[in-house]
Amino acid sequence: MKIHEMFLDESNRRVCCGKSIKELITAGGKKHLWDERKGNIIDTVVLHYISAVEVVPSTPFCEEAILKIFCDYSVSSHYLINRRGKIFQLVPEDKRAWHAGGSIMPEPDRRIGVNEFSIGIEIVATPSSGFTKLQYESLGKLCSLIEKRYCKEFTYTGHEHIAGQRAVKLGLRKDVKIDPGPLFDWELFKLMLDKYRMDKALENIGRLPSKTPAPGLRQARRASSVQDRPDVTKT
């Protein structure tokens, strides 16, 4: 799986709607669209959708327009997955991206400020478009890779679950977020994630030295050899 670096910082010279990302970011007095994490716990992935439907309704999935939205509104996520399943990394994972805003984890977690301990993934879609099979496949691959890198399973939640009515009632934010919304198929995502988790597990098993059986297998072989040898008395 290839991940394309597209960091939202002053080194990025990609042109978006007539200006480079560097120009768009530095015009706002910033060097990059992230800051430092205060802790070292990263255990959650937050899923979002994003499009340019309100900016260019005729081409809502335009990557340039979407990247410009990040720069214009000083928001960011760690990853962006386009309609064809292509993955862009926008923010280093060890940095805090600005994707969740005022937020609180669902019960029983209840941690607030979800940006601090999460990785944000934006999936290109509109409220009515739904998501492509290629996006689900890339999302499953990406999340299994993240889990492999951190050697643990993550908690997965939607922006709507951490920045909805509950967050508003608690005074954490003023607006209600609804993404990735009812058209996001959580069951399909979980199936994809489990599939690629299994692929990673089998890949790791395949890396074991072929002449060195697993500990349980060694024990079983040892017991079998004892049973088969007539000169050994079993007690």
Q: According to the model, what pLDDT value does residue 229 have? A: 39
Q: According to the model, what pLDDT value does residue 213 have? A: 47
DSSP 163: S
- Contacting residues for 4 by C-beta, under 8 A, at least 6 apart: 86, 87, 88, 89
How many structural domains compose the chain? 1
Q: According to the model, what pLDDT value does residue 231 have? A: 41
- Contacting residues for 105 by C-beta, under 8 A, at least 6 apart: 44, 111, 112, 114, 155, 157, 162
Say which CATH number the domain at 23 has: 3.40.80.10
Q: What is the pTM of this model?
A: 0.86
Per the annotation, the verdict on 122 as an active-site residue is yes
Residue at 45 is within a domain: yes
Do 159 and 98 meet the contact criterion of CB atoms below 8 Å apart?
Answer: no
Residue at 192 is within a domain: yes
Residue at 31 is within a domain: yes
pLDDT tens-digit profile, the chain (235 residues): 899 999 999 999 999 989 999 999 999 999 999 999 999 999 999 999 999 999 999 999 999 999 999 999 999 999 999 999 999 999 999 999 999 999 999 999 999 999 999 999 999 999 999 999 999 999 999 999 999 999 999 999 999 999 999 999 999 999 999 999 999 999 999 999 999 999 767 776 655 555 544 444 344 444 444 344 334 333 3
The residue range of the domain holding 118 is 3-228
Q: According to the model, what pLDDT value does residue 148 have? A: 96
Give CA–CA dist 104/196, Å, rounded. 29
Residue at 120 is within a domain: yes
Residue at 186 is within a domain: yes
Residue at 234 is within a domain: no
Give CA–CA dist 97/164, Å, rounded. 19
Considering the candidates 122, 137, 147, 160, report the single residue annotated as catalytic.
122
